[in-house]
A = this chain, B = another copy of it.
């Protein structure tokens, strides 16, 4: 530990989600020393959101010995631009959907510490590199399987931000160029339209509507089926649900084969809700990857599940950006 880490042993992480904003104060080993949360929505102005956040933060900052103990703050947020420290046109934020919010500067001005901001998938990638399964790796790709599909790409030990701060949108590579599913981005056939939690539920509904196959999912209102229901059904051996996970994993494996042609990573690391399905999704990913990848890359990449503790993974990821400042 260097002198500065002894003097300022903590960073703040903020996982800014569509519903909740969760704060943690984290040490260099990834132990969360204190945590708090506020609602993300319900503020007309971003200033009111920051006021509420700083009030909540002050309590846990005092718990760890005051702001002098804190090196920096990292924020993981939707549509986060690392270069500018801004949240740009985030459709799901009441105070940020139609504008560019300089959130890093706002927190930095209030707290008097450096603050950096990036999207949640990039935060997850830095989190894996600092506290998780990617420690010591220089080339890896984190794929987040949640409501959407996100990614954080590390090359030569550095997060890939691209020319504009928005690189690493692997959920929006096109996997089906003909008759592709509509995606929230307005295009068709994106990876996210199939392999997000929403995509898994949609795949299940498609199979229920277009086949006569039996399934315990037929007992539910189709519109209410979630990826968790599909996972529970699969866990009970429901063949239709198992096939949905198999197809999802197969497409992810195909996609990773293309990503290997780009950056030949040492590992693909999966993160997020769908990963709870474990082998149900990881086995088809690995099998499909081996079948589809260019021969020179075969057998080289590891397929790993996130090493960050589930409940606090997003906060840890966000906090990790603080150590890079």
A162 close to B174 (CB less than 8 A): no
Give the complex CA separation of A198 and B161 in angstroms. 35
Which of A96-104, A200-208, A293-301 is found at the contact surface with chain B? A293-301
Q: Which B residues are CB-close (under 8 A) to A311?
A: none
B258 close to A174 (CB less than 8 A): yes
Partner of A172, one of B139, B178, B294: B294
A163 close to B254 (CB less than 8 A): no
B254 close to A174 (CB less than 8 A): yes
**Interface: A49 (CB within 8 A):** no
Interface centre among A170, A176, A177, A257 (most CB of B within 10 A): A177
Give the complex CA separation of A176 and B177 in angstroms. 8
Nearest-CB distance from A159 to chain B (Å)?
9
A166 close to B297 (CB less than 8 A): yes
Give the complex CA separation of A250 and B234 in angstroms. 41
**Interface: A108 (CB within 8 A):** no
A261 close to B169 (CB less than 8 A): yes
**Interface: A26 (CB within 8 A):** no
| Docked complex: A237-280 residues within 8 A CB-CB of B | 254, 257-259, 261-266
Q: Which B residues are CB-close (under 8 A) to A212?
A: none
Q: Say whether, besides A163-B300, A176-B177, A178-B178, A262 and B153 are in contact (CB < 8 Å).
A: yes
**Interface: A167 (CB within 8 A):** yes
Partner of A187, one of B138, B187, B294: B294
**Interface: A173 (CB within 8 A):** yes
Q: Which B residues are CB-close (under 8 A) to A294?
A: 169, 172, 185, 187
Q: Which B residues are CB-close (under 8 A) to A262?
A: 153, 160, 167-168, 170, 173, 259, 262-263
**Interface: A156 (CB within 8 A):** yes
Q: Which B residues are CB-close (under 8 A) to A177?
A: 175-177, 254
B164 close to A300 (CB less than 8 A): yes
Give the complex CA separation of A170 and B164 in angstroms. 22
Q: 11 pairs across A/B with beta carbons < 8 Å?
A: A156-B156, A161-B264, A162-B263, A163-B265, A163-B266, A163-B300, A167-B264, A169-B296, A174-B254, A186-B295, A258-B258
Q: Which 7 A-B pairs have the closest CB atoms?
A: A162-B264, A167-B264, A163-B266, A169-B261, A173-B258, A139-B163, A172-B294
